[in-house]
Amino acid sequence: MDKPLVVLALPFAVFLLLSLAAPLRRRGVLAGWVSTAATAAAFVTALVIWRDGARGSLIVPWLPGDGGPMATVGLLLDGLSAPMLVLVTLVSLLVQVYSLAYLDDEPPRSLGRYYVYQSLFAFSMLGLVLSPTYLQMFVFWELVGLCSYLLIGFWYTRPAAARAAVKAFWTTKLGDLGFVAGIVMLWSNTGTFEFEALFRMAKDQTLPLEGLTTIMFLIYLGAVGKSAQFPLHVWLPDAMEGPTPVSALIHAATMVTAGVFLVARSEPLLVLVPAVLTIVARVGAFTALLAATMACVESDIKRVLAYSTVSQLGYMLAAAGAGAAAAGFFHLLTHGVFKALLFLGAGAVIHAVGTNDIFRMGGLWRFMPHTGIVFIAGTLALAGVWPLAGFFSKEAILEGVVAGGRPGVFVALAVTAFLTAFYMFRVVFITFFGPGHPHGDTHPPHDPPWLMRGPLWLLAALTVAIGVRFVIGAPGDHHPPVWLTVLSLALAGGGIALAWAMYGTGVIPVELVRRPLATIDFLARRRYFLDAIYGGIYRGLMLGFSRVVGWIDRYVVDGILNVCSAWSLRAGDALRRIQSGQAQDYVYGVAFGVLLLLVWARWWRTP
């Protein structure tokens, strides 16, 4: 178990080095290369681990307790964590390389800070993946949340970024409250945080089922926050205020999938509580559909991708809820690759044209052929076109949902698949083939430097390679029913065709489609008013609470002090009158003192 430890220790060492060695950090680019080199080493080690197929766990006592440790820490390497290690280190590595070019105009100081956060994130995410206990997972869960907060607010001087960071933090914390309550309740029921012990108990049917529904639902709430499920999905689109590579890494490929990972990890426990599974599936499907509709009307390229991420996360969780956690996890991995590709591609576009608005891009295919090719590859994969990676994972999910006997969820996911193809190709047609915009002759947009192009091509190649690998022969040679394959291809093709007709050629005017769907269009453009409602609640609660606190501070705390001071003043004013300033009055005082002494000596003194 020393290799996973190496994978975990490398980013942490870099984090410590960069945070403590200020001169190195302030060199910026150098710090970036150090971090990248360590991540590359971690990636290679993770690949070795994955290829070895070594499995096992390492448990070390942590918190002492009566009769054995109360909590343990350690590493758990199994079929879930090994591929995740590869995904996390791979995307981390590519994003770090990409960032060197993407953030080249940052001052060295803040670039160094960026890589401190990056290495801390890599460490935290790897720790989360390798956690053998719920408690350790929660610790790293919060650490990745912290990194997300720090990186969304990387440009903290922008008010929008600072707000988005706080919003992301708050919203995910709401789910985390459930998560921590759930694992504590689980511990009080079973006495352990360890996955393997819990799964053993689940298998032996010695796990106390009482209250398990509540517990698992609470744990699932953590996933709702982290994986941006309805109704806590609102933070993810706003999180796009961070640098685009961050969005690719944290808010598409790795951290947001932690919720899916959690659900997949907890599957042996979740199957014991069908009610929670139903909720997971329905909420996932609903989120997928809801986010897809919002993505269809969004004009900010990063936000389209963000809604797409929300939608795909809903997909994964719907699969997990329908009992096909493996399919959901598979989609997590493929999605991690091609969504990172899409985000990095979008980053290249934004880097080139300097805006996020797709309607102000247009005709970029001529200027940025490399970017266009890889972006279209990623889009095809996300739309689920054979033979790319997304096709197989999406099909696996649909199959799993059918097998799980959830027709409602299946319909929602099928519609989502159609919408996914539509909105992604809407972006492609508008951005790369739409009417060109004058960009100025001096600085026409161009493909990014090779530091950015390399990761893009690598991810694109991977997206294709994974698909080809499954074309050649899926492991176990399992084939889904033909109607499903046909249906999913038809949905993807239909979506692409509609997008082509509306935005590629203009055969179907946009208005023609929009008019019958006016209500949905209206609502989707306003994000179903959820942000406004939450904002209102947040403001109401916070401002109301602040008002109450302010009132207490002003009238109770200050009031007590004011009363005290007023009384002191009044008492002093009263006592002041004793001091008449007239010597004879003082002599009266002395005389009374003498009298008191005499009286005391005469009557009270015991001889």
Partner 1 sequence: MPGLHSYLVVAALVFAIGLFGVLTRRNAVGILLGIELMLNAVNINLVAFARLHGDPIGLLFALFTIAITVAEVAVGLAIVIVIFRVRRTIDADRLDLLRG
Partner 2 sequence: MTAATAGFWAVAVVLLASSLAVVLTPNLFHSVLFLAVALVATGVVFLFLHAPFLFGVQLLLYAGGVVVLVVFAIMLTERIVGLRIRQSSHDLVNGVIVSVAVFVGIVGFLVQSGPAPAAPATPPPGGDQTVALARAILGPYAVPFELLGVLLVIALLGALYFARED
Q: Which is nearer to partner 1, 538 or 586 (CB)?
A: 586
Q: Of the ranges 28-36, 81-89, 356-364, 570-578, which one interacts with partner 1 (CB under 8 A)?
A: 570-578
What's the rounded Cα separation, in Å, for the pair 144 and 127? Answer: 10
Q: Which is nearer to partner 2, 537 or 596 (CB)?
A: 596
What's the rounded Cα separation, in Å, for the pair 73 and 55? Answer: 17
Query: Residue 599 CB, nearest distance to partner 2 (Å)?
Result: 7
Alpha carbon of 361 to those of 238, 364, 371, 447, 500: distances in Å?
21, 7, 14, 14, 17
SS (H, E, C) 250-305: HHHHCHHHHHHHHHHHCHHHHCCCHHHHHHHHHHHHHHHHHHHHHHHHCCEHHHHH
Query: Residue 583 CB, nearest distance to partner 1 (Å)?
Result: 6
Exposure b/e, 269-307, CB count within 10 A at least 16 = b? bbeebeebbebbbbbbbbbbbbbbbbbbbbebbbbbbbb
Could you give the string, one character per residue 559-588, with x where binding to partner 2 holds by CB under 8 A and - elsewhere?
-------------------------x---x
What's the rounded Cα separation, in Å, for the pair 74 and 59? Answer: 4
CB 264 within 8 A of CB 324: no
First to last CA, the chain: 89
Q: Quick check: 54 binds partner 2 (CB under 8 A)?
A: no
583 binds, among partner 1, partner 2, none (CB under 5 to 8 A by kind): partner 1
Q: Which is nearer to partner 1, 275 or 599 (CB)?
A: 599
Q: Quick check: 519 binds partner 1 (CB under 8 A)?
A: no
575 binds, among partner 1, partner 2, none (CB under 5 to 8 A by kind): partner 1
Alpha carbon of 195 to those of 326, 446, 491, 510: distances in Å?
17, 50, 39, 52
Residues 125-184 that bind partner 2 (CB under 8 A): none
**Half-sphere exposure in the Cβ direction for 53 (13 Å, CA):** 0
Task: Scan for tokens 């949902």, then name that residue.
Answer: 401
Q: Which is nearer to partner 1, 478 or 602 (CB)?
A: 602
What's the rounded Cα separation, in Å, for the pair 588 and 584? Answer: 6
Q: Of the ranges 27-35, 244-252, 425-433, 591-599, which one interacts with partner 2 (CB under 8 A)?
A: 591-599
Q: Quick check: 551 binds partner 2 (CB under 8 A)?
A: no
Q: Of the ranges 19-27, 108-116, 587-595, 596-604, which one interacts with partner 1 (CB under 8 A)?
A: 587-595
Q: Quick check: 601 binds partner 1 (CB under 8 A)?
A: no
Q: Quick check: 602 binds partner 1 (CB under 8 A)?
A: no
Local structure of 580: helix, strand or coil: coil
Q: Which is nearer to partner 1, 52 or 585 (CB)?
A: 585
Q: Quick check: 601 binds partner 2 (CB under 8 A)?
A: yes
Among positions 20, 516, 519, 577, the unique one binding partner 1 when judged by CB under 8 A: 577
The residues that touch partner 2, with contacts defined as CB under 8 A, are 584, 588, 591-592, 594-595, 598-599, 601-602
The residues that touch partner 1, with contacts defined as CB under 8 A, are 575-584, 587-588, 591
